[in-house]
């Protein structure tokens, strides 16, 4: 299908964040067990240092998560996730009171705490409300943007034997129903995440990436999170630590397919990717841009 240009914005604490230029969401894992070891930060010093580095590198949104959802993981208890998130948000808000923060959680109680106590700006839910039936009503109360992701199964079993009769049809039906439910309770600021690596085979992941433009039918912003995932390092027979080059290539394809937000471990490289893609897409259109680069 031909890509159409949409002008999306997010309401970030009363300020509009425009997505005409794609945004970079930097990952801050307050966990000891995330799949990419270099993204784990548990100490106060480490959290502050990582946050400062990402801001210096030009991150637009910081996504704070305190419960690893990598395949096969035993999920941390709600009380432990609650304490980790509170600690991280307290530190960040004390130094950067207005910086856009997303909280990666599938638990409504933690979403409520993050927004009510620390003015978190976005809730990023891998489960689409499937793992906590109170999530949608909580989002209606909180009135912040909601990232709706597709996942087949749960983190414990999602990669054991993912199967679809018609993957795109099933994911589109899933999103259609979830969007309807969210809008019925009054949630309208919705971001879609196809859920790369969450109940998907290698072929599923690459088909989803190739057909990313098809998601424009929903007329909602798209988030893509492929950073250092197994769809890169298992295919190339390497490791997450060696997957930066592959991540940049897939981020480029995602931007070309209409991604509005890139969720990444490596902010500087993603920011450069966005900048180069913007020049590529406007080549021959923006004469001032051409002149400035000569």
Task: Please say if 263 is a catalytic residue.
Answer: yes
**pTM of the predicted model as reported, rounded to 2 decimal places:** 0.91
Q: Where are the domains of the chain?
A: 21-293
The single residue of 229, 234, 268, 271 carrying the catalytic annotation is: 229
Fold for 21-293, please state it. Answer: TIM Barrel (3.20.20)
Query: Do the beta carbons of residue 24 and residue 270 sit within 8 Å?
Result: yes
Are 4 and 216 within 8 A, CB to CB?
yes
CA dist 242 and 157 (Å) reads: 26
What is the helix, strand, coil percentage profile of the chain, to 5?
45, 15, 40
pLDDT tens digit at each of 294 positions of the chain: 455 667 899 999 899 999 999 999 999 999 875 555 555 566 889 899 999 999 999 999 999 999 888 777 778 899 999 999 999 999 999 999 999 999 999 999 999 999 999 999 999 999 999 999 999 999 999 999 999 999 987 777 677 778 899 999 999 999 999 999 999 999 999 999 999 999 999 999 999 999 999 999 999 999 999 999 999 999 999 999 999 999 999 999 999 999 999 999 999 999 999 999 999 988 866 555 555 554
Structure confidence at residue 287 (pLDDT): 54
Q: How far apart are CA 68 and CA 73, in angstroms?
A: 7
Are 70 and 15 a contacting pair, CB within 8 Å?
no
CA–CA separation, 52 and 229 (whole Å)? 24
Angle at 39 between CA 74 and CA 84, to 5 degrees: 60
Name the active-site residue from 263, 268, 271, 281: 263
* Residue 229 appears among annotated catalytic residues: yes
For residue 222, give the DSSP letter.
Answer: B
Residue 134 makes CB contacts below 8 A (sequence gap 6+) with: 108
pLDDT given for residue 1 in this prediction? 43
Q: Are 120 and 37 in contact (CB under 8 A)?
A: no
- Residue 42 is predicted with a pLDDT of 67
């Amino acid at each position: 299908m031909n890509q159409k240009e949409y002008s999306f914005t997010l309401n970030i604490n009363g300020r509009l964040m425009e997505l005409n230029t794609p945004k970079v969401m930097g990952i801050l894992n307050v966990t000891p067990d995330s799949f990419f070891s270099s993204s784990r930060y548990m100490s106060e010093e480490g959290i502050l240092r990582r946050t400062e580095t990402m801001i210096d590198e030009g991150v637009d949104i910081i996504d704070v998560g305190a419960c690893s959802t990598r395949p096969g993981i035993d999920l941390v208890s709600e009380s432990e996730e609650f304490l980790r998130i509170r600690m991280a948000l307290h530190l960040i808000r004390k130094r950067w009171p207005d910086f856009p923060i997303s909280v990666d959680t599938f638990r409504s109680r933690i979403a409520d705490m993050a927004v009510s106590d620390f003015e978190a700006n976005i809730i990023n839910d891998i489960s689409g409300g499937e793992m906590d039936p109170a999530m949608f009503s909580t989002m209606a109360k909180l009135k912040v943007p909601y990232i709706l992701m597709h996942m087949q199964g749960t983190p414990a079993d999602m990669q054991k034997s993912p199967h679809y009769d018609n993957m795109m049809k099933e994911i589109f039906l899933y999103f259609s129903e979830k969007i309807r439910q969210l809008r019925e309770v009054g949630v309208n600021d919705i971001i879609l995440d196809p859920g790369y690596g969450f109940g998907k085979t290698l072929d599923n992941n690459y088909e989803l990436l190739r057909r990313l433009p098809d998601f424009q039918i929903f007329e909602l912003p798209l988030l893509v999170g492929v950073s250092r995932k197994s769809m890169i390092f298992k295919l190339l027979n390497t490791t997450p630590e060696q997957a930066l080059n592959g991540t940049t290539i897939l981020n480029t394809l995602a931007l070309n397919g209409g991604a509005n937000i890139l969720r990444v471990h490596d902010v500087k490289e993603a920011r450069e990717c966005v900048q180069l893609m913007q020049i590529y897409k406007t080549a021959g259109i923006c004469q001032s841009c051409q002149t400035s680069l000569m």
